[in-house]
Amino acid sequence: MKAIAMRGHGGTEVLRAEELPEPVPGPGQVRVRVRAVALNHLDVWVREGWQGLTLSWPHLLGSDVAGVVDALGPGVDGVAAGAEVVLNPGTSCGRCRACLSGMDVECRRYAILGEHVSGGYGEWVVVGAQNVLPKPGNLSFEEAACVPLVFLTAWHALMSRARLRLGETVLIHAAGSGVGSAAVQIARLVGARVIATAGSAWKCEKALALGAHHAIDYEKQDFLAEVRALTGRRGVDVVFEHTGKRTWEKSLLAAAAGGRIVTVGATTGYDPTTDLRHVFYRRLSLLGSTMGSKGDLFDVLPLVEAGRLKPVLDRVLPLAEAAQAHDLLASRAQFGKIVLVP
């Protein structure tokens, strides 16, 4: 198959077009012809590499895949060839206590397509049948590829970890990102008051159109001062954090007494300063969240099909232009998701 593969870490020059063997599904697996694969910041981080990350070469990036089932491995039941599907990016053993309790994200063998195992930067991808879900009928393949990782991450963080409730106020950073744009919609769906940040005036306008009640241009405004003004100095009930070092200290200060800060990433750095006096004196809860359970996506997809949650597609590029897509993502030139098509 034609693919964009890596044989080492580095800049975009490591993303190279290759001809690889056509994958064959094993027992309990299905093969999906990739029709669209969406980028995440995870693609950039895996490409660059980090200490402790061990991959098998060649490695294919790409966590968010939409496509068509075209081959079934032995023992597969309930999935038909020709079905239009989206893939849950999280894989696990399916047998341990965490998996059987519906918390497969806590499985010790948990892995993510494109991160720990090869993903969708090719013509086909092979996954376990349990990772295949029907594509919402109202979406194109390109739109469907925008859904899984970011909506799964935002849903689990806001609903399962932070337990955001009707009438609460939430601060959502970087609303122009895939996970930020998903979080704005989920928070609005819950009935929360949404304060979003974004890195330009045009992104703030898009955040408002997406459902945010207020938008702060963090390049020109002090988001902490704006949050205090908007909340009568009380602060917000929940902070949705994924930018990390650049915003972390002020995110703690932006939370109300008894507030919850849920973090799903660290795009600008993973080692911020934390003043513990604010944590214990103001009774803050710091919550970590990664991805979500397979069951969470069953909650999300019907809302997508009903039009209550909508994927935010910025642009579509050929898979051959994966390097250019990485540059666009790293420069924050998009609002929502960049999608590649083979």
pLDDT at 331: 87
Kind of pairing, strands 29-38 and 111-112? unpaired
CA distance 265 to 45: 11
Q: Compute and round to an integer the Cα radius of gyration of the chain.
A: 20
Which residue segments constitute the domains of the chain, with CATH numbers given?
A: 2-147+311-341 (3.90.180.10), 151-288 (3.90.180.10)
Question: What is the enclosing helix (H) or strand (E) of 18?
Answer: strand 16-19
- One-letter amino acid at 92 equals S
Task: Quickly count helices (H) and strands (E) in the chain.
Answer: 11, 17
Strand-pairing partners, residue 128, are 29
Beta strands at 169-172 and 2-5: parallel, antiparallel or unpaired: unpaired
Q: Are 301 and 139 a contacting pair, CB within 8 Å?
A: no
What CA–CA distance (Å, rounded) separates 111 from 228?
39
How high does pLDDT run on average in the chain?
95
Q: What per-residue confidence (pLDDT) applies to 222?
A: 96
CA distance 270 to 240: 15
* pLDDT for 332: 85
pLDDT tens digits, one per residue of 7-22 = 999 999 999 999 999 9
Task: Measure the CA–CA gap between 341 and 106, rounded to whole angstroms.
Answer: 32
**The pTM of the whole model exceeds 0.95:** no
Strand positions, DSSP E, 135-291: 169-172, 193-198, 214-217, 236-241, 255-263, 285-288
pLDDT digits (tens, 9 = 90+) for 303-333: 999 999 999 999 999 999 999 999 999 888 8
Q: Which residues, 6 or more positions from 289, have their beta carbon under 8 angstroms from its beta carbon? A: 153, 156, 157, 160, 161, 262, 263, 264
Question: Around Cβ 114, how many Cβ atoms within 10 Å?
Answer: 26
Q: Output the pLDDT for position 36.
A: 98
